[in-house]
A = this chain, B = another copy of it.
């Protein structure tokens, strides 16, 4: 792919300060870009030292101070980062070519497949499953019976999607992830745990991206539901009948126990855990490693274990390492007071 600055400006609406016919052959970071490459600067620390990148051109925000002479050509636009990554996507397309259905894949009875798909060797598709247009199923992927995969969805290698799952459009699921495993539910018969068959399913809506090594259990009844635009990082666990609201972010190694429900635009930071049967409101934020044991109201920021207001947690975090000193102070004060009282 080769683009001129003019072509990049036409695609994004940027204003050019420089040579519209200059050609760009790749994209890179501020530090690493060379004279044929495009980069971006939105952070003031980069905007101050624009003479230090060797990039051929640079997306910058309107408030930039254009250097009197020299430096890279500029592409002035709101949200340089966003537009930079959109141009990057032209150089690094997510999808490779769509080679059709490999004879080394196994398709069950009644499977229906859309146009322009890539079904690689070693893929197994269960009976009655529907695969939309432009879907990519990479090697080693398993789809159970009666699953639905929406148009433009990409399933990376060695993903497991169990029966009756419903996956939306333009979804990306990274390798090693398991969708629709049985929930962790048992009934007690005297001293034994007897398995509960899990009759529900997993529903993943449009434009969701699921990281590598996630486990998302099916509902006991009904669905475990990952709504539109949700993004999960790696090694995230989502239990049976959890609902994750629109555009919510779950960072690496988060765990959410059964039947809890998260609102829209929630952020759960890395390694946090959320107990079962709780509600986390819209726009709430859960701090890294937090242990959420009761509901979180909308817009609230909580941290710590057990959870508390994040501002309190910041103070608590300062005090915890001073607990030994605080204890000494208390014991000393006690003694001083007793001595004083006796005299």
A residues lining the B interface (CB < 8 Å): 27-29, 32, 79, 81-82, 85-86, 88-89, 91-94, 96, 102, 104, 106, 120-122, 124, 138-140, 142, 145, 156-158, 160, 162, 172, 174-178, 181-182, 184, 186-189, 191-199, 207, 209, 211-215, 217, 220-222, 229, 231, 233-235, 237, 239, 247, 249, 251-253, 255, 257, 265, 270-271, 273, 275, 288-289, 291, 293, 304-306, 308-309, 312-313, 315-317, 319-324, 326-327, 329-330, 333-334, 336-337, 340-341
Residue A253 contacts which of B94, B156, B253, B306 (CB distance < 8 angstroms)? B253
Residue A291 contacts which of B145, B160, B289 (CB distance < 8 angstroms)? B289
A55–B142 alpha-carbon span in the complex (Å)? 35
Residue A81 contacts which of B187, B209, B237, B330 (CB distance < 8 angstroms)? B187
Residue of B nearest to A253 (CB): B255
A204–B273 alpha-carbon span in the complex (Å)? 28
Smallest CB–CB gap between A311 and chain B, Å? 10
Residue A251 contacts which of B184, B289, B329 (CB distance < 8 angstroms)? B184
Given A140-B122, A215-B212, the answer on whether A323 and B324 have CB atoms closer than 8 Å is no
> A315 to chain B: which residues have CB within 8 Å?
323-324
> A91 to chain B: which residues have CB within 8 Å?
199
Residue A196 contacts which of B88, B192, B229 (CB distance < 8 angstroms)? B88
A320–B333 CB distance below 8 A: no
Given A199-B88, A253-B255, the answer on whether A324 and B316 have CB atoms closer than 8 Å is yes
Given A252-B239, A270-B255, A316-B320, the answer on whether A176 and B174 have CB atoms closer than 8 Å is no
Smallest CB–CB gap between A231 and chain B, Å? 5
A197–B27 alpha-carbon span in the complex (Å)? 11
B160–A160 CB distance below 8 A: no
A169–B267 alpha-carbon span in the complex (Å)? 40
A139–B106 CB distance below 8 A: yes
A57–B28 alpha-carbon span in the complex (Å)? 61
> A289 to chain B: which residues have CB within 8 Å?
273, 291, 305
Given A197-B94, A255-B271, the answer on whether A234 and B175 have CB atoms closer than 8 Å is no
